[in-house]
Structure 1
Amino acid sequence: MSQNRSSNNLVVPQATAALDQLKYEVAQELGIAIPQDGYYGNMVTRDTGSIGGNITRRLVTIAEQQLAGRY
């Protein structure tokens, strides 16, 4: 696994594996190869931003669906 140097802390630490899986799924859909060594320094900023933006979009959609199901 890659080293996480982010200052962001997950509310549910067990979600790390699910978020990593989502990252790889989104990258594959966009046709972007994620480095296996975990070093993103050689990736284009536009690619990493696209991955992050699509992850956020998907997470918001999931949250909206869950909220709609509760009410």
Structure 2
Amino acid sequence: MARGSNQLVVSQARAALEQMKFEVAQELGIQLPQDGYYGHMTTRDMGSIGGYITRRLIQIAEQQLSGR
């Protein structure tokens, strides 16, 4: 795969992932910019959001695989 070619396998998941991003940011006390420009966000904050989303997605997948 070439760089920059990240595409969602399930295109309908985009809205759910965006919603999760806002929920996680709120839980972590991080204010996301209303204009959608993340250039002024710190790497630490964005990494925290991304890491938490990854952990949550893994938890969801594990629950589905275990039949819960």
> Higher relative CO (CA 8 A, sep ≥ 6), structure 1 or 2?
1
Tell me whether the two structures share a fold, i.e. TM-score over 0.5.
yes
**Alignment partner, residue 3 of structure 1:** none
Return 5+ residue gaps in structure 1 as ranges.
Answer: 1-5
Unaligned runs of 5+ in 2: none
Encode CA deviations 1:23-45: one digit per residue, 9 max, x unaligned.
00000000001111111110110
TM-score w.r.t. the length of structure 1 is 0.86
- The CA deviation string for residues 7-63 of structure 1, in whole angstroms up to 9 with x for no partner, is 410000001110000000000000001111111110110000000000000000000
Alpha-carbon RMSD: 1.3
Moved over 6 A (4+): none
- For residue 20 of structure 1, the aligned residue among 18, 25, 37 is 18
- What's 1:38 paired with? 36
What TM-score do the two structures reach when normalised by structure 2?
Answer: 0.90
**Other-structure match for 2:63:** 65
Percent identical pairs in the alignment equals 75
